[in-house]
């Protein structure tokens, strides 16, 4: 019924996997035939080892290379089945590929061919990601939303053709039923061409998401531009554009629209780090044209002159040199003289592109109203940062025999988007309340980023996907994870994200059944051995995990045992083993957290407007000597010690972020930043040493190690605001939560702040067992007296593992919660004396009264 065919040329790295995919078909092809265009590697040996029919180019005549067009024609001479499955040498098909497609072909005799969905397996580096944006037809749409439809042509890489239909085309177009394809197409376009011819004869071509194939090719920016461009050039060549200036002008319009479309997708998807490749693409399309017309065609002169004339407007010297470097080969070929005869339309387009006016969307992630005012400098810097990233990626150890993927899973439930890794208060946002495509607050995943750098230092191949900051859907995350095909996937989880993370792991396991899964994060320290009741989870690491996760990756890679890995939870036969851990990493010795390959411009933690965008989140210390009963990390995640980072190391990190990303402020995201006055002095000295004078803010204790001297010194180094956790001023509540807060001292320190012009942001929480309406109102009155610059209030969440949680369990006061109910989204999840309704009403009233107070009503 069907024959399978693979054209090859030096495909030793992929061909075995491709052939195994064909041999595993549930409907067995009568023949599997490889036609080779002149491989010089082991392609032939592998084909023979796999026992398939192999035809070298010599078999068909004296060709230097056969190419795809000839190979597709020659296969027709070798088969007599009604259907032909054509698969490229870097495409893997699932076992039911033929079984699913044949009935579709059988149902309609006028169906000339049918092809399935092609999933890109390489979506890690910048070039690969650009490709998925350029060829975004199916890639970004969730699989479940895609529908079968007819197309102008179907990809030659994974389709079934009706052989009769091909014969008919060959007969009519070339007088030879074995010659339907155009012999001269060496690579690409033969599928476009045959699509046009088949439709001319009344046949239809169908695309269906019923089958998935997997594309192994790895692209760089150059190859994706080549492909995207040549498809379009081909289309225009068919329409005679190159002989006709008017048609050519339309082509320019088409390219402008195409580039704009790419930018629009980047904006909508918050993929700003891909902008540099798109700048390159925009220029390349035009420069390619110059070469095409280089032989003194008047249009080429116009493009060239427009390009030269607009150079001075290009976004920056750096980008310009990148573009020119990229296209130097093309420019070398041009013998035209620069002149004044420029084409205004093209010139305008170059100017538009050069001044980044094509980015006419809000930049970059529309976190909140504060980022709406787009500034050209930030756009330029973002483009430069993506250029920097392209060079940097080359220095990383990404692909190897053993790969580790670090993940922050996307967390979406309808319109609710959640934040997870890096958050002490994991919660979800109702996105219908925001004019944005990402949550207003996205924390930097410090632990994953430190671990990534550690893996790179140890030369363990690794990649990191922050699905939350990338704004990924589940499908997008799975495509990318599958593309990377890690041996070990490490993901950070929390109570509120746990069920979502388990769901995501199950989805990932459908595609990657052999990948080992390790869960880390605060909730693992709560679950401990119970984590192993989830069969799809292979490992857990309790407490801070960077050093242990590194050891785990190394142990799996080198087949060593796990007995010495601190905090590791794993199975040994039917026994669950839990290794001891003191919980604390050597924080000061961790390598600096990876930033460059993260979606940097999407992270956002700026409680006040003076903390200008883009802003860097840093950590100067970990741990907290206090033990407030509701506080998640000090109780579940950390050991006992308060640890500080080397201040020079952190200052250097800030300096790098200024240079690379153009940050305008930073936020010290410590548990409690002011536990060690000596450290604060050292930090100020380091800021001075590295010549950093940016506005910054930190999370501190209002009654902690502060005095006028250090506050003044920090103010002189750019300190703009301090964020103080107050919770309540009621003694009984403070006693209940063991906050040990000296309210008088808080007031004194806040007065010094005010005198020095340091802004104050206060945080409160309500709903404790000892809370009453009266106590909450008393705290609110105190808040008004203090009149901080800003404040926030939450309903307390007894995160699993905290003393508060344990006490509520003991009292039987916890309502019947699922893990994902422990979401700092302001719903009460236990029984207090006021009840849920009153607590939630009081929270709303607090917010309203505060807005009115600040508005002077
Ligand atoms: S002082 Fe702050 S960081 Fe420390 S335990 Fe209390 S709430 Fe947590």
pLDDT digits (tens, 9 = 90+) for 755-784: 999 999 999 999 999 999 999 999 999 999
**Helix (H/G/I), strand (E/B), else coil: 696:** strand
Taking the CB of residue 808, how many other CB atoms lie within 10 A of it?
Answer: 19
Assigned token pair, 534: 């989830």
Q: How far apart are CA 278 and CA 322, in angstroms?
A: 12
Degrees, nearest 5: CA angle 824-523-543: 125
Question: With contact defined as beta carbons under 8 Å apart, do 768 and 832 qualify?
Answer: yes
CB burial of 630-652 (b: ≥16 within 10 Å; e: otherwise) equals bbbbbbbbbbeebbbbebeebbb
* CA torsion angle 231 233 239 241 (round to 10): 170
Distance (Å) from CA 244 to ligand 1 centroid: 72
Q: Which atom belonging to ligand 1 lies closest to the Cα atom of 631?
A: 8
Distance (Å) from CA 644 to ligand 1 centroid: 16
The pick from 425, 624, 702, 763 for probing ligand 1's pocket by mutation, whose C-beta has the most ligand atoms within 8 angstroms, reads 624
Q: How far apart are CA 408 and CA 361, in angstroms?
A: 27
The pick from 522, 621, 631, 762 for probing ligand 1's pocket by mutation, whose C-beta has the most ligand atoms within 8 angstroms, reads 631
The pLDDT of residue 637 is 87
Q: Which atom belonging to ligand 1 lies closest to the Cα atom of 671?
A: 3
Closest CA to 708 of 672, 749, 743, 649: 749
Q: Quick one: average pLDDT of 293-311?
A: 76
The pick from 620, 623, 628 for probing ligand 1's pocket by mutation, whose C-beta has the most ligand atoms within 8 angstroms, reads 628
Closest CA to 622 of 550, 678, 551, 675: 675
Per-residue pLDDT reduced to its tens digit, 563-576: 999 999 999 999 99
Q: Quick one: average pLDDT of 2-8?
A: 96
The secondary structure element, H or E, covering residue 158 is: strand 158-162
Residue closest by Cα to atom 3 of ligand 1: 671
Distance (Å) from CA 624 to ligand 1 centroid: 6
pLDDT > 90: what percent of the chain? 57
Q: Which atom belonging to ligand 1 lies closest to the Cα atom of 624?
A: 4
The pLDDT of residue 139 is 44
The pLDDT of residue 187 is 74
Mean of pLDDT over the chain: 88
Per-residue pLDDT reduced to its tens digit, 339-362: 667 888 888 888 877 777 766 666
Task: Please enumerate in sequence order all residues whose Cβ is within 8 A of that of 839, keeping only pairs 6 or more positions apart, or say none.
Answer: 766, 767, 771, 795, 828, 832
The pLDDT of residue 327 is 56
Distance (Å) from CA 803 to ligand 1 centroid: 13
Q: Which atom belonging to ligand 1 lies closest to the Cα atom of 672?
A: 3
Q: Quick one: average pLDDT of 426-448?
A: 89
Q: How far apart are CA 764 and CA 329, in angstroms?
A: 62
For residue 643, give the DSSP letter. E
Residue closest by Cα to atom 1 of ligand 1: 626
Q: Which atom belonging to ligand 1 lies closest to the Cα atom of 701?
A: 1
The pick from 423, 634, 738 for probing ligand 1's pocket by mutation, whose C-beta has the most ligand atoms within 8 angstroms, reads 634
Q: Pick the more confident residue, 592 or 246.
A: 592
pLDDT > 70: what percent of the chain? 92
Residue 365 pLDDT level (bands cut at 50, 70, 90):
low
The pick from 626, 702, 792 for probing ligand 1's pocket by mutation, whose C-beta has the most ligand atoms within 8 angstroms, reads 626
Highest mean pLDDT among 37-51, 201-215, 320-334, 800-814: 37-51
The pLDDT of residue 337 is 60
Residue closest by Cα to atom 6 of ligand 1: 628
Q: Quick one: average pLDDT of 836-849?
A: 93
What ranges make up the beta strands (E) of 393-509?
A: 403-408, 412-413, 416-419, 427-430, 461-466, 488-492
Q: How far apart are CA 768 and CA 793, in angstroms?
A: 13
Q: Which atom belonging to ligand 1 lies closest to the Cα atom of 739?
A: 6
Distance (Å) from CA 816 to ligand 1 centroid: 27
The pLDDT of residue 16 is 95
Task: Please enumerate in sequence order all residues whose Cβ is within 8 A of that of 263, keeping only pairs 6 or more positions apart, or say none.
Answer: 275, 278, 358, 359, 361
Q: Quick one: average pLDDT of 221-250?
A: 75
The pLDDT of residue 335 is 57
| Least confident among 185-199, 406-420, 538-552, 666-680 | 185-199
Q: How far apart are CA 102 and CA 100, in angstroms?
A: 6
Find how far residue 272's CA is from the centre of its chain: 11
Distance (Å) from CA 844 to ligand 1 centroid: 25
**At residue 142, does pLDDT exceed 60?**
no
Residue closest by Cα to atom 8 of ligand 1: 631
Distance (Å) from CA 622 to ligand 1 centroid: 11
The pLDDT of residue 186 is 79
The pLDDT of residue 312 is 75
Q: Which atom belonging to ligand 1 lies closest to the Cα atom of 633?
A: 8
Distance (Å) from CA 524 to ligand 1 centroid: 20
Question: With contact defined as beta carbons under 8 Å apart, do 620 and 668 qualify?
Answer: yes
Per-residue pLDDT reduced to its tens digit, 562-611: 999 999 999 999 999 999 988 788 899 999 999 999 999 999 998 888 88
Q: Which atom belonging to ligand 1 lies closest to the Cα atom of 627?
A: 5
The pLDDT of residue 530 is 96
**Helix (H/G/I), strand (E/B), else coil: 604:** strand
The pLDDT of residue 628 is 93
Task: Please enumerate in sequence order all residues whose Cβ is within 8 A of that of 632, keeping only pairs 6 or more positions apart, or say none.
Answer: 424, 425, 522, 799, 801, 802
Residue 276 pLDDT level (bands cut at 50, 70, 90):
confident
The pick from 672, 727, 736 for probing ligand 1's pocket by mutation, whose C-beta has the most ligand atoms within 8 angstroms, reads 672
Q: How far apart are CA 317 and CA 324, in angstroms?
A: 10
Lining residues, ligand 1, CB within 6 Å: 624, 626-628, 631, 634, 671-672, 701, 725
Q: How far apart are CA 26 and CA 93, in angstroms?
A: 11
The pLDDT of residue 177 is 97
Q: Quick one: average pLDDT of 789-805?
A: 92
Q: How far apart are CA 302 and CA 318, in angstroms?
A: 25
Distance (Å) from CA 626 to ligand 1 centroid: 6
Assigned token pair, 361: 């969307």
Residue 432 pLDDT level (bands cut at 50, 70, 90):
confident
Q: Quick one: average pLDDT of 42-59?
A: 96
Per-residue pLDDT reduced to its tens digit, 60-103: 987 888 888 999 999 999 999 999 999 999 999 999 999 999 99
Question: With contact defined as beta carbons under 8 Å apart, do 423 and 396 qualify?
Answer: no
| Least confident among 164-178, 271-285, 477-491, 509-523 | 271-285
Q: Which CA distances in Å does 443 have to 32, 389, 439?
A: 52, 21, 10
The pLDDT of residue 140 is 46
Q: Quick one: average pLDDT of 198-213?
A: 93
The pLDDT of residue 559 is 95
Distance (Å) from CA 635 to ligand 1 centroid: 10
Angle subtended by helix axes 317-333 and 376-394, to nearest 10 = 60
Q: How far apart are CA 830 and CA 630, in angstroms?
A: 13
| Least confident among 159-168, 189-198, 222-231 | 222-231
The pLDDT of residue 99 is 96
Distance (Å) from CA 725 to ligand 1 centroid: 8
Distance (Å) from CA 641 to ligand 1 centroid: 13
Distance (Å) from CA 701 to ligand 1 centroid: 8
Give the bridge partners for 617, in sequence order: 667
Distance (Å) from CA 632 to ligand 1 centroid: 9
Highest mean pLDDT among 38-52, 277-291, 633-647, 821-835: 38-52
For residue 287, give the DSSP letter. H
Distance (Å) from CA 739 to ligand 1 centroid: 7
Residue 338 pLDDT level (bands cut at 50, 70, 90):
low
């Amino acid at each position: 019924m069907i024959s399978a065919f693979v054209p090859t040329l030096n495909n030793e790295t992929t061909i075995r996997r491709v052939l195994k995919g064909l041999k595993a078909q549930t409907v067995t092809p009568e023949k599997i035939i490889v036609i080779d265009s002149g491989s010089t590697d082991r392609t032939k040996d592998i084909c023979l080892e796999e026992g398939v029919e192999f035809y070298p180019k010599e078999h068909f005549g004296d060709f230097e290379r056969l190419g795809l067009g000839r190979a597709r024609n020659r296969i027709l001479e070798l088969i007599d089945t009604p259907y032909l499955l054509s698969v490229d040498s870097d495409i893997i098909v699932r076992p039911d590929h033929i079984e699913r497609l044949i009935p579709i072909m059988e149902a309609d005799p006028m169906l000339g061919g049918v092809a399935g969905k092609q999933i890109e397996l390489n979506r890690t580096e910048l070039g690969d990601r650009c490709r998925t944006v350029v060829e975004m037809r199916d890639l970004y749409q969730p699989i479940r939303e895609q529908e079968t439809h007819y197309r102008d042509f179907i990809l030659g890489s994974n389709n079934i053709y009706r052989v009769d239909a091909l014969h008919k085309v060959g007969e009519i177009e070339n007088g030879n039923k074995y010659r339907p394809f155009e012999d001269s197409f060496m690579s690409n376009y033969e599928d476009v061409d045959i699509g046009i011819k088949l439709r001319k004869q009344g046949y239809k071509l169908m695309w269906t998401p019923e089958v998935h194939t997997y594309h192994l090719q790895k692209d760089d920016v150059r190859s994706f531009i080549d492909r995207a461009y040549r498809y379009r050039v081909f289309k225009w060549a068919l329409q005679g554009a190159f002989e006709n200036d008017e048609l050519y002008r339309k082509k320019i319009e088409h390219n402008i629209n195409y580039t704009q479309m790419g930018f629009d997708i980047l904006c909508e998807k918050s993929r700003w780090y891909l902008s540099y490749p798109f700048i390159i693409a925009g220029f390349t399309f035009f420069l390619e044209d110059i070469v095409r017309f280089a032989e003194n065609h008047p249009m080429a002169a116009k493009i060239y002159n427009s390009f030269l004339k607009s150079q001075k407007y290009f976004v920056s010297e750096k980008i310009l040199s990148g573009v020119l470097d990229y296209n130097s080969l093309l420019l070398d070929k041009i013998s035209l003289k620069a002149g004044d005869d420029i084409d205004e339309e093209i010139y305008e387009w170059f100017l538009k592109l050069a001044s980044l006016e094509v980015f006419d969307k809000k930049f970059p992630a529309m976190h909140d109203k504060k980022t709406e005012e787009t500034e050209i400098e930030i756009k330029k810097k973002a483009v430069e940062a993506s250029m920097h990233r392209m060079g940097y990626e080359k220095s990383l150890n990404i692909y190897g025999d053993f790969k580790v993927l670090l993940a922050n899973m996307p967390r979406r439930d309808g319109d609710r988007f959640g934040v997870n890794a890096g958050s002490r208060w994991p919660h979800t946002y109702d996105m219908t309340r925001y004019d944005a495509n990402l949550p207003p607050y996205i924390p930097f995943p410090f632990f994953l980023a430190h671990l990534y750098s550690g893996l790179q230092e140890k030369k363990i191949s690794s990649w990191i996907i922050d699905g939350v900051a990338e704004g990924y859907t589940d499908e997008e995350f799975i495509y990318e994870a599958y593309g990377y095909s890690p041996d070990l996937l490490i993901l950070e989880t929390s109570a509120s994200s746990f069920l979502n993370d388990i769901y995501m792991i199950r989805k990932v396991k459908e595609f990657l059944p052999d990948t080992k899964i390790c869960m880390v994060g605060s909730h693992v320290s709560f679950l401990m051995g119970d984590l192993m009741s989830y069969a799809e989870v292979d490992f857990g690491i309790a407490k801070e995990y960077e050093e242990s996760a590194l050891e785990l990756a190394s142990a799996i890679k080198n087949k060593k045992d796990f007995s010495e890995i601190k905090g590791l939870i794993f199975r040994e036969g039917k026994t669950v083993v839990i290794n001891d851990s003191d919980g604390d990493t050597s924080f000061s010795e961790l390598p600096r957290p990876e930033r460059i390959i993260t979606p940097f411009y999407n992270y956002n933690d700026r409680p006040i407007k003076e903390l200008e965008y883009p802003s860097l989140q840093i950590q100067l210390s970990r741990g907290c000597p206090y033990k407030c009963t509701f506080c998640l990390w000090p109780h579940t995640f950390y050991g006992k010690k308060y640890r500080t980072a080397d201040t020079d190391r952190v200052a250097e990190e800030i300096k790098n972020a200024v240079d690379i990303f153009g940050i305008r402020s930073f936020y010290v995201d410590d548990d409690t930043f002011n536990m060690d006055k000596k450290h604060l002095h050292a930090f100020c000295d380091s800021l001075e040493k590295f010549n950093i004078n940016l506005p910054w803010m930190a999370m501190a204790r209002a009654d902690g190690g502060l005095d006028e001297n250090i506050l003044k010194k920090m103010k002189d180094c750019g300190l703009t605001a301090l964020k103080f956790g107050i919770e309540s001023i009621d003694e009984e509540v403070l006693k209940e939560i063991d906050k040990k807060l000296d309210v008088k001292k808080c007031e004194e320190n806040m007065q010094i702040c005010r005198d020095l012009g340091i802004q104050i942001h206060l945080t409160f929480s309500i709903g404790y067992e000892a809370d009453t309406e009266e106590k909450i109102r008393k705290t609110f009155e105190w808040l008004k007296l203090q009149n901080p610059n800003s404040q926030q209030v939450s309903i307390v969440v007894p995160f699993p593992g905290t003393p508060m949680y344990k006490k509520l369990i003991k009292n039987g006061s916890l309502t019947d919660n699922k893990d994902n109910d422990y979401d700092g989204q302001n719903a009460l999840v236990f029984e207090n004396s006021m009840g849920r309704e009153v607590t939630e009403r009081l929270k709303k009233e607090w917010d309203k009264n505060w807005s009115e107070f600040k508005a002077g009503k």
